[in-house]
Every structure is written in structure tokens, then in C-alpha cells.
Structure 1
Amino acid sequence: MKILHTADWHLGKRLDRFSRIEEQILVMNEIVDIANNQQVDLVIIAGDLFDTFNPSIDAVELFYKTLMQLSLNGKRPVIAISGNHDSPNLIDAPDPLARECGIFLIGHPKATVNPIALDSFSISKTDAGFIELQLNSYDYPVRILHTPYANEVRLKEYLGEDKEAKLNTILAENWKSLADNYCDNQGVNILTAHLYMNKQGTGILEEPEGEKPIKIGNADLIYSEIIPSQIQYTALGHLHGYQNIGTKEKPVIYSSSPLCYSFSEAGQTKYVSIIDAKPNEYVTYEKIALNEGKKLERKTFSSVADAVEWLTDNPNTLVELTLESETFMTSDERKLIYQSHQGIVHLIPKVKEVKGNETTFTEINLDQDIQSLFNDYFKFKNSGQDANEELMSLFNEIEALNK
């Protein structure tokens, strides 16, 4: 049985003023093509389906269109759980209609998916946080333990009455109970969750820059050691870089986001994970690279000419550009840079300061008001001294005349 695992679509995501919807259309089509070319039997989407609780019409349209294509109009089951960016109620809302097309949308932890029989497969068993699928082309079922995102308080409300118990304990007991009841070695056993999970005793995994964090201290940190022994593959969402925090035999995979969504991800290759699973055997799996979407680049230059040359040679990118120089950038230089490239997300001027034998660069905030920008320039020219009230008053008069 072949399973495609993807996550963290963040449909509707913007990077500052830049919409990513056109790139997302391309990469969604790429994921559909991979699913078809690999002839996968099942698709799992492990949360953060949208970027906000109230996604745009374009994002919602792309989401349902992609799910319909992945489901082959009801022939291939698709299971999607909510993440920390999603509204659980919004994800749940279309489920009665979606399930008739083989699409199962799970918004809340411990949700119960009602049984259904379609032409190509059926849900043969169900429980809170669990479904068993029987595909007509296989003589064994696939069991899926599913845990959409909820914060620590809500997870405890869903999964246990003991509010003082650690989240690890609550999840471990819940997953173990489901696995012991339903996951024998006569079927394929999968866990999918949108959680901050790591292997106990290892370094902290960085959450995506600019994303809503899950990990607050160690309160929401879940350890992979609590995954039941019956589980053959764990499909995770939340971290945007592909990584296996489990073992080769029992992989626990963050499949990555389909696009680079922040400059901390610049240079990352994005993937989907393809799993080949049989009952009572270790799974085999491979990551397949996604090629659509613009590259994100963090570039630093010491001259405007070098920056313009690189920008001209790399038009199909989104750029965070840092320019280090000995003087403030002129308005003509800034205009020239922006005219040379349509994808400059951030322009960060840094002015060199030499104090004794030490050279430092001071970052200039171009988003501040003109008075603050002038005062920064004055301080740079006058050994850190602020402009006095008389000078600022004169500057304001000149500024008013120019409006």
C-alpha cells in the first residue's frame, strides 16, 4: 500500500506584501501529479491546511479543488487534519459533503468519523481519534490514529479529566488505548498529528520563523517515545523542514511545507513523503522533491552595483537584501535597486561604523517616519548626537514645503 504524506500547505500565505497564491496553485498541481504518478492509495495531510482562521476565497477554492483532484473524485481516500493555523470548526464544516467524495476533514482532537462505504473503499471501524479504512484493492486494512492540533488546555479537555497530568501522559495513554484495541499486525498502522514533537534528550528543533509557535517553554513538547509500538509510520505537521525524528525502522516524519514561507527557510528543498507499507513489516519510504515556487534568498552586498547585477540575473526569486556601506543609501540608489527586481521583500541598509579597531554595522529601519530617519542620519554623521529641537523644527518646515 502506498501512502502520500504532506503537511503545512498554509494556503493563502503572504510574505509581507507578496501573495503566494499563484505559486501555491503550481505546487498543489505538482503534489497531485506526484500522487498520480506514484499511484498512491491514500493521502494524509497533517495540518496547517490554511494560513489563517479566516482564509481568502482564493485559498478555500484552491484547497477544495486540490482535495478533489487528490481523491480522484472519490476513488482515493484523503485524510486532512487541522493545524495550529486552522479553525477546527471551518475544517469540520464541509465534512458531510466531502466524505461522499472520499475526503475526510478532521478539525478537533478525539473526533469521531462516521462509517461510510464508497465504491473503492469503506471506513470499516471508527472511534474517537481513530479510523480504519478497508480499500477494495487490498485484503488488509489501514488504521489511522489522528490528533489534530489543539493547545495544551484544549487537548486535556478532549483527552482527559486530569488537568494536572502532563500532556505527554495524556496523549500516551490515549494513543496506547486506541492502538491496543485496534492496531494488531494484520493491518497497516499509522499515526498522524499536528504537534511539536521531538526525540527525548535531543536538541530543540526550531519552529518556522514568523509562524504561530506551538512550543511555549516545554509545556507543549511531545516526545516521540510515547508513540505506540504498533505504529509503523508517524505523519507529522508543524515544522517546515523535512526530517525524521524517529528511526529508519519506525520513521516519525515532518514532511515539510510545500514552499519556503520565511527567509529562515531560504535554500531549503521541500518534499512530500511516499510510504510503502505492509502489515507486520517495517515501512519503506522516500522523499520526493517539490520544484515549483520561487526561491527565497537572503543576500548581502557591499555595493549597489553588485546588488543590482545579482538582482538582474535572478528575477524569479523573493529576496531579503542587506546592503552594507560606509554612508546612508541615497534615494536614487534605493530607486535603482527596486527598479532592478520585482521581488524585494525586505531592503535592509547597514551603515559601517569604525570605533578604534572594531568595525560594526548599524541597521537602518526604512519603515520608520521621515523625522526618525533624519535623526538616525544626523546621529551617524555626528558621533551619536541627536539633532536638537531647532534643527528638527527646520527639517520639518522643509519637509512640509516638499509635500
Structure 2
Amino acid sequence: MRFLHTADWHIGKKLHGYDLLTEQRDAYRQIKAIAEAEKVDAIVIAGDLYDRALPSEDAVTALDDMLVDLNRQEHFPLLAISGNHDSGVRLGQGSDWFKSTAFYLNTRLEDAFTPVVMDGTQFFLLPYFEPFAARQYFEDDSLKTVEQAMQKVVAKMVAAFDPQMKHVLVAHFFAAGSTHTDSETQVQVGGLNAVPVDLLRDFDYVALGHLHRKEALQNEPTMKYSGSPLKFSTSESLDTKGVWIVDTATDPVTVTFKPLKPLHDLVVLRASFAELMDPDKAFPVTPDDFVTIELTDTAPIANVMQRLKTRFPKVIELHRINQIDVAPKTLDIDQVQQDPLTLLGDFFETVTQHPLTDQQETWAKQAYQRAQKEEG
């Protein structure tokens, strides 16, 4: 069979306060178009459908629209699991009757051991879980880490393999050898969330979610993170987002990456403040793109973020790549002997690059007069 592998939709996520639902709906439309063009038999979503356990009403409406469209309108079978950002209980409401339209959604560990069978392929849908769930299910208090739990999980799945079929694991965890991006919550305590890839070799294909880069397991031809459909952090600015098309009819399975084009990109610009504000200098961004600025200046710049946003409205981060030079200029003896208010004004202008306002001068004089009275 032929299926599309995606994950980490994070519907409802905001990027430094900016709503991403417009971009997420556009990415969804591209995913749907790829599924139609590739004539896939099913769509796999490997966790983190929502960005939080209590999604907003708009996020719930958006995801419902997408799932209903794929499953009820376009009649694609869906195979999905909950991720660490989802609430398994909330997401799983109604999952029993979802199956009547070929929508298979697993949110509990105990459901992962009954495979979904399609076109000669067994799909094992393993939702995100923590060790305590495995301890309860296997009645084994020795299971302290996800790695220990996965040894029993995989063994039970392998015992259910039909040797005449292909076997696909859909899961949401951190596989050893991959690297985190800073947009992903770090859920690692005492080995939690680290699973050696050697434990997964029995499967013909492993469709993973959780890490947002498709390159996370680039040396594993049949174990893949789909990555997120959108760039969710500056560390992902150079990533190419997309989905995998998996064909289980070949041996080994054939895996092809299909890219997505961002509606509004996330771009990093490195330049001086003068260059960035120069109207005659062009940059590869649109007013709707999200921009991270890496500023090369060493001098302080007043109201720098507000001024940058007059040219790049969606600046999400500002980093200085060089140390700020705030060393005061050398003062001669006449300057040192100036009155304190004059010295304060000079110092303020050196640091902020603009003089005290009339109101600030008034406050400074009042404070100086109070200090003189207290000394007297």
C-alpha cells in the first residue's frame, strides 16, 4: 500500500504571539493536495495534532475541519496517535465510532497492540506514553524509563506480527541518534523519551513524530520523522518542511519526501541597523514573513525593536551577535568638574543615543534637589 506520513501539526500554536492558523490551514491544503496527487491509500499523523492539552476553540474548529475534510469528504483512511502536546483523554473522545469511517485514533497504550490492517500492512499505533503507563499495563514496577518500557512494547507487537504482511509502527517519542530543535519541549528526565533505534528494527517502516526536523534520523532509511509542516522556531529557519510518501509494496519500503512551500516564511537576517533600515537595500522577505534579526552593531540603539518593525512588521526575535560597546568616552578635568545634572545628561545621551526629554530633566532636577536636602 501507499500512505502519507505527517506529524506535529501543533494546531493552535502561536509564534511569539502571532497566530499561525492561517499558515496551518495553508499547509493542510498542501498536504491534502499531495495525498490526492500521490493517490495514497491512507494518511498517518504521528502525534501532536494540537499544540496544547487545552486547545482554543479556534484550534479545535480548525483541526475538526481538517479531519472531517480528509476522512468524511475525501474518504482518506486516517491513522493517528496522540503526542505529548495532546491530551489523550480529550483527543480520544469519540474514537470508538471514528472507526466506522476508517479513522483510527489511538490515545491509550493498551490500544497499541491491536494492529490496524490495511492492504497487506499491519499498523501499530503507539501514542505518546510515560513509564508509569507501561508499569500499570505490564504490571511491572521495574519499568522506569521509556527505553525499558519499549522493550516490552515492541516484543508484544512483534508477537502479533502476521508474517505474510508488512509491519508499520506509528509512534511519538525521541529516538536515540536524533537531535532536538529548540521549539520542542525537552521531556528528558532520567532517560525519559530516549529510545534506541535498534529496538525498532523489526518493523518495515517506523513513522515518527515529536522532533520537528525530517533530518533527525537521516541515516535510517526506513525510520523517519516527518517533521512539522511549519517552521516553529528560528532554529528551523533553513529547514525544508514536508511529508513522506511510503510504499510498502517494495522490499525494503520506498520512501519519498514531498516538500511544502511556506505561505509566510521564517527568515533570519544578519546586518547592521543602518543596512536593515536602508530603503534602497532589498531583503528576501515579504511584510507577512516572520523575521529574526541578528544585529551586527556594537553601539546601543534606542527603541531598536520598534524601529525595525516599521520595516519588518513581524520581527519575532532580535539577537546581537557582537558585544555592545557602552564604554564612556574619556573625560577631561573640566568635564569631570561639571555639575551632576550635566554629567547625567551626557551619560544618558552616550548610552541611549538621544538626550533627556524635558520631563526627564525635571525628574532629574527634583531627585537631585531631594538628595541635596537629605545630605544637608
How many Å apart are 1:394 and its aligned residue? 2.8
1:159–1:265 distance in 2 versus 1, CA, 3 Å: farther
Aligned length: 339
Does structure 1 residue 130 correspond to structure 2 residue 77? Answer: no
Query: Within 5 Å, which residues of 2 pair with 1:70-219?
Result: 70-71=70-71, 73=73, 75-111=75-111, 128-134=112-118, 138=119, 141-164=120-143, 166-184=145-163, 186-199=164-177, 205-219=178-192
Query: Within 5 Å, which residues of 2 pair with 1:3-402?
Result: 3-71=3-71, 73=73, 75-111=75-111, 128-134=112-118, 138=119, 141-164=120-143, 166-184=145-163, 186-199=164-177, 205-229=178-202, 231-243=203-215, 245=217, 251-278=222-249, 281-309=251-279, 314-315=285-286, 316-331=288-303, 334-348=305-319, 352-353=324-325, 381=351, 394=364
CA–CA distance in 2 between the matches of 1:256 and 1:143?
A: 23
CA–CA distance in 1 between the matches of 2:305 and 2:217?
A: 44
Which has the higher mean CA deviation after the structures are superposed, 333-342 or 52-61? 333-342
How many Å apart are 1:53 and its aligned residue? 0.6
Tell me, which stretches of 5 or more residues in structure 1 are unaligned? 112-127, 200-204, 356-373, 383-390, 399-403
Task: Say which SS state the counterpart of residue 206 (structure 1) adopts.
Answer: coil
How many Å apart are 1:218 and its aligned residue? 2.7
CA–CA distance in 1 between the matches of 2:19 and 2:312?
A: 16
Q: CA offsets, 1:97-130, max 9 Å, x none? A: 432322122112222xxxxxxxxxxxxxxxx533
Tell me the TM-score normalised to structure 2 length.
0.80
1:129–1:103 distance in 2 versus 1, CA, 3 Å: same
Between structures 1 and 2, the one with greater strand share? 1
Equivalent residue letter for 1:206: T
Tell me the TM-score normalised to structure 1 length.
0.75
Equivalent residue letter for 2:194: L
Q: Could you say what the CA RMSD is over the residues aligned between the two structures, in angstroms?
A: 3.1
Aligned to 1:121: none
Q: CA offsets, 1:253-275, max 9 Å, x none? A: 00110000011111110010001
Equivalent residue letter for 2:172: H
Task: Say which SS state the counterpart of residue 173 (structure 1) adopts.
Answer: helix
CA–CA distance in 1 between the matches of 2:306 and 2:219?
A: 52
CA–CA distance in 1 between the matches of 2:183 and 2:145?
A: 28
1:164–1:4 distance in 2 versus 1, CA, 3 Å: closer
Q: CA offsets, 1:313-372, max 9 Å, x none? A: 5224201113332432134x65442211221112345663399xxxxxxxxxxxxxxxxx
Equivalent residue letter for 2:200: I
Between structures 1 and 2, the one with greater helix share? 2
CA–CA distance in 2 between the matches of 1:129 and 1:396?
A: 76
